[in-house]
């Protein structure tokens, strides 16, 4: 049973480009959470999705950021027109049911560098 898979592991984008981060949850998990971690900072919640639904996007910036979790395929976090301040590690976690509990596991993260 594979864990939470994120790709790419490392992503370099020039300012103004788009970044697309993918997260495949663990088998049997239909709930996905995206967190961002800036250097020397804790994890900040961005968005919580279930299949085809955004449940809570209160932590996601209103502009340039969007997320989806389609019926088929991975969850995607999209950042348009990236800026240097978007450089961070983006972690995805999945759980089998509503609520982030002991059944939730993190992926290895995508480290985005904007140059």
Partner 1 sequence: QKEVEQNSGPLSVPEGAIASLNCTYSDRGSQSFFWYRQYSGKSPELIMFIYSNGDKEDGRFTAQLNKASQYVSLLIRDSQPSDSATYLCAAYSGNTPLVFGKGTRLSVIA
- Would you tell me which residues interact with partner 1 (CB under 8 A)? 33, 35, 40-45, 48, 56, 59, 91, 99-102, 104-109
Location of structure tokens 């002991």: 102
**At its nearest, how many Å lie between partner 1 and the CB of residue 34?**
10
End-to-end Cα distance, the chain: 36
Based on CB atoms, which residue is closest to partner 1, 37 or 66? Answer: 37
Based on CB atoms, which residue is closest to partner 1, 39 or 85? Answer: 39
**At its nearest, how many Å lie between partner 1 and the CB of residue 31?**
10
Based on CB atoms, which residue is closest to partner 1, 17 or 37? Answer: 37
Based on CB atoms, which residue is closest to partner 1, 106 or 113? Answer: 106
**At its nearest, how many Å lie between partner 1 and the CB of residue 82?**
21
115 is written with which tokens?
A: 């140059």
**At its nearest, how many Å lie between partner 1 and the CB of residue 109?**
5
Non-local (6+) Cβ contacts of 107 within 8 A are 3, 4, 5, 6, 23, 91, 92, 93, 94
The neighbour count for residue 64, using CB atoms within 10 Å, is 15
Strands 105-106, 75-79: pairing kind:
unpaired
């Amino acid at each position: 049973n594979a864990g939470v898979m994120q790709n790419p592991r490392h992503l370099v984008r020039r300012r103004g480009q788009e970044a697309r981060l993918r997260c495949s949850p663990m088998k049997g998990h239909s709930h996905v959470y995206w967190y961002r971690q800036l250097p020397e900072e804790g994890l900040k919640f961005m968005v919580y999705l279930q299949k085809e639904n955004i449940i809570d996007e209160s932590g996601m910036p209103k502009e340039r950021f969007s997320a989806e979790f389609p019926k088929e395929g991975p969850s995607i976090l999209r950042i348009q027109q990236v800026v240097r301040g978007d450089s961070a590690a983006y972690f995805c976690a999945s759980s089998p049911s509503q609520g982030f509990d002991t059944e939730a596991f993190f992926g290895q993260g995508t480290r985005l560098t904007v140059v």
